[in-house]
Each structure stands twice: as structure tokens, then as C-alpha cells.
Chain A
Amino acid sequence: MKGWTGNILRINLSNKIYKKETFTEEFAKKWIGGRGFALKILWDELKPGTDPLGPDNKLLVVQGPISGVPMPNSGKTIVAAKSPLTGTYGDGNIGSYITIQMRKAGYDIIIFEGKAPSPEYVFIEDDKVSFLSAKEIWGKGTFEAQDWLEKKYGKTAGILSIGQAGEKMVLYAIIRSMQGRSGGRPGIGAVMGSKNLKAIVVKGTKEIPLADSKAMRDRGRADLRKVGEMDKKARWSVQGTNAVLSWCNEMWALPVRNMRHSHHPDAWKLDGQRTSEARVATYGCPNCTMRCGIAILDKEGHESEIDYENVGMLGPNLEIFNLKQMASLNYLCDDFGMDTISGGSALSFYADAIDQGATTGDFKFGDAERAKELLRLIARREGIGDFLALGSLKMAKKIGKNSEAYAIQCKGLDLSAYNCKYVPGQALAFGTSAIGAHHKEAWIITYELTYSERGAYGRDKAQKVVELQRIRSSIFESLPICRFPWIELGWDLKNYSDYFNLATGSNWTIDDFTKRGDRIYALLKAFWTREHPDTDRTADYPPRIYFDPSIADKEGPAAGKHLEYDKYDALLDHYYDIRGWDKRGVPTRQTMESVGLAKEAEQLAKVAKVEEATVVSGSREQ
């Protein structure tokens, strides 16, 4: 087999037994890598109802066939587990040297099982695995932990670690690497903490097996130069992702005050120009050609690496418009190892619930100092922090009083920083994202606001969501690789199939990927259904507040407008129809069989209702 190493390293943390296993080429070509591998393994190996924070959950670190090879932006790794936030499959991608080191150590997949008896970190050096005490870094933030591990193993060692939030199992804890990279929004850091696993360190010395090493090396070198030059010419890295903030504000799609508002006159104080002017350093992932990590100094003088999602959720969403204060909140989230999006959303939900009289407490929108105190309490799960550590949906369920309506989440995962209260297609993208509301799944908001009628609920929008879910699930999450050169610089999608073919000796087209994207998406939704057998279409609804006329903007391009249930349902019907799912949003047996999931359909039917065939409302489009 070429491209893939074909190896799985299975590590049991409870009894410290590890073994090398192999996977077949058939498995590799069916699931590609990254998300595809993780999803299939967790489907096969986790019993329905497994406690996400119990020892029976499994933490996977996964690569793909072009991971770590010298080509543009190939430094991404998938971390995956059953999510404590959503109760279904969850994953994230993270830029890290572990991408390269794992492949050089000879593994595409590492599976962590069980729970270490005391805090540990694991050091993997080619075929050797060491279980080491983490007592010197347990209780420390991710910056100190990474620093300590880098001093011991070198700056280019593959290191993943968690902060105090992961140790204390804050439900939206993430995994960190390289002092600035984060991944695993659905609480994958909490799963790592539940296993008493502070860090993973990998070093490898082997060759990555490639079908055509010379062609890969030559093309990779040329493209690294080419895409780097494209970025220099386009000047994308000058503002990086935070350029999006101004656009969202101009289009009235900015998260403001727990998304009750969609525009703010002070948003410019946090925009891409301001963060670019305040920049003290720029960081990126391994093999990056367009570094997006813009570091600015926070109020306390720390370097705080920001991108748009951080700024949006910790700035306007909390009505904090002081750049340094917003940067402080971002720094604390990064150091504690918690998701800035869900962290920002938990805080904004709390302030909103107090405002609405649903609960009492000492926090108001705009209070940055109190927000910092709350983040510290969350990371330690002390006092009110223990409640805020649950994420907005579980907080709302505890509060009651209709507060779930303004918990800004889908399936338990909080929305990224795009206010969709009058953007139905993007609301559909968040609603149908099978891992919860994540912008990496299908980001159609620019299409919708530029090339389509904003308030329309046409089939074209459902088609666009499906198209992007196919591409992102199969190419960007499963190879896995960074999407920025494709969209931001217009680097042709065909480049990714070219590299895949050079690595594996295959002759795939983009269609070969997107067909697998349908398989992956069907199994993602089957996973959700297996864990939530009573699921219905409301699981694919955006936050209820978006349908509330009372929060419609009073001015601007969406003045007086809000989502409407009957129209959204019609849009959802289009989506299900295109996907071949039933009216509850569950893949039918016919659909699962058509994408090679006959056995999985049988397994699903044992715990949940599976319709035989789709109730067709129009022509199927594949």
C-alpha cells in the first residue's frame, strides 16, 4: 500500500499495553483517512450509549495519505472521539508537527483507550511507546505544558496537549499544539482529560511511503513556492481571517449580544485592520504557505493569537470592543485549552439569561474583567464556573424558563461567529452539520449573501450546503488538509486529487472524493441517530431565537426579518431529498446501501427506526 502507512497504534492507558495493527487498502480507499477513518472506527468500536467521559470512549489521532508530505498546507491532524457536548461523533482538525512525526513514526491512526491511573503523557518514538508521569505539567496551562515538552523533546516534536479545562473536563475543552494551534471543538480535550492524558508526544525517523516520491517532492516544492507567491500577491495574510469581521458587520451577520443583534457601530475597533496594525508576530502550521495566526498583545502583555472566530465570539458577541481586553479573553481560553467559540457562547448565554430574568448572577455584556474571572472559574470548574463549563445547551436545560430558545447551538455545539437570524442557507448549514454547528462543515454565507437572494429558501441553497459538506468531509477533513488555499487564493481543487494520486498511485477525480463524502455524511447522521434514536427534524433546526420576530433587526438590510418555520422546513425537505434521508433527517436503508453502508444500516436498524426508501418530494440530485 502506498500513501497510507497502513498502521494503527492502539494504546490502552489503563494497563499500558500497546500494539501495532494494520488496516487494509480496501478500508483506506473506502474511508480516505482523517475523519473518514475516525468515524468508521468509532462507529465499529463504541457501543451505543458509551459515556463520552468514561474509560470506554476512545480518543483518536488520525492522519491521511498526504498528511505531512511537503505540499501546501498539509500539516493538519484530526482528533476525534464521541463528544461530551453533542453525544455523537465529534472531531476537529489541528495544525501540528504531530502530522509529520506520526507519519514518520509509521502510523496513520493512534487509538487511546481506557484511563491512566494517574496523570500521564505518552511519548511515542517510532515503535516504542513510553508512559510517563505528567506531574510536572498537570495543572499547568497549554503554553507552559508545550514549552516544557518542547524543551525535553525539541521544537519540531509532534506535541498535543490539554490545559486545565481538559483536565477538569470542561465540556468544550480543546486540544492544543505549537503554542497557537487548537482543535476539537466538540470537547475532544475533555475526553483526553477524562483519560488522565495530559499530552501526546511523537517522534519518527521513517520514510513516508509514497507511490511517486520524486514527483511528489518536485511538485510539492514548486507548489509551496507557487501558493506562497499567490498569498504574497493577494496579501491575504496581511489581515488573515479577521478580515471577515468587517464583512459580517457590513452585511449585518455579526454575532452581537448573544446574537440578538447583527451589527454594531463599534465593531471596527476589532476589525482586520486594527488586528493587523497591532500584530507583533505571525504564526502558522507546518508546511503553511498562508499563515493566519496573527498575534497581538493582550491587556496583560501576553501574545494572544487571534482569528475571526475568536474575535467575533469574545468581542462583539459579548459587547466587548476593547481590542486588548478581547485578546486577554482569547489568551485565557488558549492557555486553559478551551474553545473560544463555545466559551464565548457560554458567557453570552449566561449574560443573556440574567438579562431575561431566567437566572441570577453577576455578569453583564461588556464586562471584560468579570468575563476573565469567569473563564478562570470555568477552567477550574469552581462555583459558577462549574455551571458555565457545561456549554449553552446543557446550561439552558438546567435553567429552564424557555432559555433553550436563546442557547445559540445546534445539537449541543455552539454556532461559530456568523449570525444567521436572517440567513436561511447558512442556518441550514449549521443545522444540518452532523457534528453540531461548526463553520468548517459548510460555509455558504458568502454565496448566500452575494450570489443569491438573502431571504430566499430555494433548493439551490440546500444543494450548495450538500456540495460543500461533500467536499469538506471527503477532502479537507479526511485527507486531512487546510482549506484556505482553495477558497481564499483560488488554488484549484484538482490539486488535492493530484497529490492524492501521487501519494497512493491512484487515479481519482474530485468525484471519487465527493462520493465518499456522501458516505461519510450518511454515517455521521447514522451515528447521531444511533445515539439519539428518537431524533427528528428539529435536531436540524438552528437556534429557536432566529425564528422570533422580536429580535429582528430594527434597521439595516434585514430590518424586520427573521427565519420562518414553514419555509425553513421546506428548505430542510430539499436538503433531505438531495441527501436521500427521510423526513426525520435519518438516512434511509436505500440511501445507506447506495453509498456502501448496508451493514451499518442493519446495525442502525437494531436501535432506531430506519425507513426503507426515501419519501421523494422532487428529483434526487447526486
Chain B
Amino acid sequence: MKIRVILIGQFVPRLGFSEKVVEVPAPFTAGDLAAQLGLGEVNKLMAKNGRGIAGGEPLKDGDRVVIAPIFSGG
């Protein structure tokens, strides 16, 4: 499956990219994706196609997944 990953905030310098398509095997969850990226144990927010999700959320080919740090506003 091809998943478009969007990183926000400090995850950009941490992983060295802000957006890219990654290939993952099916079945695959958002938590699997975070772990593969090295963000498994990090406090974070995740969203799929504009909807907030938890780590157990299954992914499908073509999904857009956003991974962001925890915020409290500007």
C-alpha cells in the first residue's frame, strides 16, 4: 500500500522530511506506521484524511496520514 505521510512541527527536523509517500504491507495500522517511522513511543496526534485517529486505525492504499506533536495553542 502507498500511504502519504505528512509530518508537522518538530517531527520534520527529527525525521528529515515533511511529506513523502511510504510503501507498507497490508494490513497496516496508523500505530504500525508511527512505529516504522520511529515515532511509536512519542506523544503525538494523528489524523487520516482530515479525521483524528488512534493508533489502531487500519490504513488503506492512498490514505493521507498526518502526524503532529501535542499542542496547547499559540
Contact mask for chain B residues 47-74; partner A; CB cutoff 8 A; 1 contact, 0 none: 1011111100000000000101111111
Name which of A250, A417, A483 has the most chain B CB atoms within 10 A of its CB.
A250
A246 within 8 A of partner (CB)? yes
With contacts A250-B6, A449-B47, A454-B51 taken as known, whether A243 is within 8 angstroms of B71 at the C-beta atoms is: yes
A309 within 8 A of partner (CB)? yes
CB under 8 Å from chain B, chain A span 76-107: none
The answer to whether B71 touches A439 (Cβ under 8 A) is: no
Nearest B residue (CB) for A272: B9
Chain A residues near B50: list those with CB within 8 A. Answer: 250-252, 556-558
B13 within 8 A of partner (CB)? yes
A22 within 8 A of partner (CB)? no
User: Shortest CB–CB separation between residue B54 and chain A, in angstroms?
Assistant: 7
With contacts A247-B45, A449-B52, A451-B52 taken as known, whether A308 is within 8 angstroms of B72 at the C-beta atoms is: no
A446 and B73 alpha carbons, distance in the complex (Å): 9
A82 and B69 alpha carbons, distance in the complex (Å): 36
Chain A residues near B29: list those with CB within 8 A. Answer: none
Nearest B residue (CB) for A247: B68
CB under 8 Å from chain A, chain B span 15-57: 18, 43, 45-47, 49-54
With contacts A273-B12, A454-B52 taken as known, whether A251 is within 8 angstroms of B71 at the C-beta atoms is: no
User: Shortest CB–CB separation between residue B46 and chain A, in angstroms?
Assistant: 7
Chain A residues near B14: list those with CB within 8 A. Answer: 235
User: Shortest CB–CB separation between residue A523 and chain B, in angstroms?
Assistant: 24
User: Shortest CB–CB separation between residue A123 and chain B, in angstroms?
Assistant: 33
A242 within 8 A of partner (CB)? yes
A222 within 8 A of partner (CB)? no
Contact residue among B6, B13, B73 (Cβ-Cβ distance under 8 Å from A241): B73
B3 within 8 A of partner (CB)? no
Contact residue among B53, B66, B71, B74 (Cβ-Cβ distance under 8 Å from A250): B66
The answer to whether A239 touches B52 (Cβ under 8 A) is: no
Nearest A residue (CB) for B65: A250
The answer to whether B8 touches A247 (Cβ under 8 A) is: yes
The answer to whether A239 touches B10 (Cβ under 8 A) is: yes
User: Shortest CB–CB separation between residue B55 and chain A, in angstroms?
Assistant: 11
A238 within 8 A of partner (CB)? yes
The answer to whether B70 touches A490 (Cβ under 8 A) is: yes
A226 and B8 alpha carbons, distance in the complex (Å): 24
User: Shortest CB–CB separation between residue A435 and chain B, in angstroms?
Assistant: 15
CB under 8 Å from chain B, chain A span 405-455: 416-418, 439-440, 443, 446, 449-452, 454
A309 and B73 alpha carbons, distance in the complex (Å): 8
User: Shortest CB–CB separation between residue A284 and chain B, in angstroms?
Assistant: 15
> How many pairs, one residue from A and one from B, have CB atoms within 8 Å of each other in the complex?
108
Chain A residues near B46: list those with CB within 8 A. Answer: 450
Chain B residues near A309: list those with CB within 8 A. Answer: 73-74
Nearest B residue (CB) for A263: B50
A266 and B6 alpha carbons, distance in the complex (Å): 16
Contact residue among A244, A250, A450 (Cβ-Cβ distance under 8 Å from B73): A244
User: Shortest CB–CB separation between residue B7 and chain A, in angstroms?
Assistant: 9
The answer to whether B72 touches A487 (Cβ under 8 A) is: yes
A488 within 8 A of partner (CB)? yes
A481 and B12 alpha carbons, distance in the complex (Å): 29
The answer to whether A557 touches B51 (Cβ under 8 A) is: yes
A518 within 8 A of partner (CB)? no
Nearest B residue (CB) for A418: B73
With contacts A246-B8, A450-B45 taken as known, whether A484 is within 8 angstroms of B66 at the C-beta atoms is: no
Contact mask for chain A residues 226-251; partner B; CB cutoff 8 A; 1 contact, 0 none: 00000000111011011110110011
With contacts A234-B69, A250-B47 taken as known, whether A439 is within 8 angstroms of B74 at the C-beta atoms is: yes
A139 within 8 A of partner (CB)? no
A490 and B10 alpha carbons, distance in the complex (Å): 15
Contact mask for chain A residues 483-510; partner B; CB cutoff 8 A; 1 contact, 0 none: 1101110100000000000000000000
A525 and B13 alpha carbons, distance in the complex (Å): 44
Chain A residues near B12: list those with CB within 8 A. Answer: 238-239, 272-273
User: Shortest CB–CB separation between residue A24 and chain B, in angstroms?
Assistant: 34
A307 within 8 A of partner (CB)? yes
The answer to whether B74 touches A244 (Cβ under 8 A) is: yes
A585 within 8 A of partner (CB)? no
A204 within 8 A of partner (CB)? no
Contact residue among A238, A242, A308 (Cβ-Cβ distance under 8 Å from B13): A238
The answer to whether A235 touches B10 (Cβ under 8 A) is: yes
A483 and B72 alpha carbons, distance in the complex (Å): 8
A141 and B45 alpha carbons, distance in the complex (Å): 40
User: Shortest CB–CB separation between residue B12 and chain A, in angstroms?
Assistant: 6
A312 within 8 A of partner (CB)? yes
CB under 8 Å from chain B, chain A span 546-601: 556-558
The answer to whether B9 touches A239 (Cβ under 8 A) is: yes
User: Shortest CB–CB separation between residue A294 and chain B, in angstroms?
Assistant: 11
The answer to whether B73 touches A246 (Cβ under 8 A) is: no
The answer to whether B74 touches A241 (Cβ under 8 A) is: yes
User: Shortest CB–CB separation between residue A384 and chain B, in angstroms?
Assistant: 28
Chain B residues near A241: list those with CB within 8 A. Answer: 71, 73-74
A450 and B57 alpha carbons, distance in the complex (Å): 12
Contact mask for chain A residues 247-278; partner B; CB cutoff 8 A; 1 contact, 0 none: 10011100000000000000000001100000
Q: A-contacting residues of B (Cβ < 8 Å)?
A: 6, 8-10, 12-14, 18, 43, 45-47, 49-54, 66, 68-74
Shortest 10 CB-CB contacts between residues of A and residues of B? A243-B9, A308-B74, A557-B50, A487-B72, A450-B52, A235-B10, A309-B74, A241-B74, A439-B73, A443-B73
Known: A236-B69, A243-B8, A449-B52. 19 other contacts (CB 8 A): A234-B69, A235-B14, A238-B9, A243-B9, A243-B68, A246-B9, A250-B47, A250-B68, A251-B47, A272-B8, A307-B74, A308-B74, A309-B74, A418-B73, A439-B73, A446-B70, A449-B47, A488-B69, A488-B70
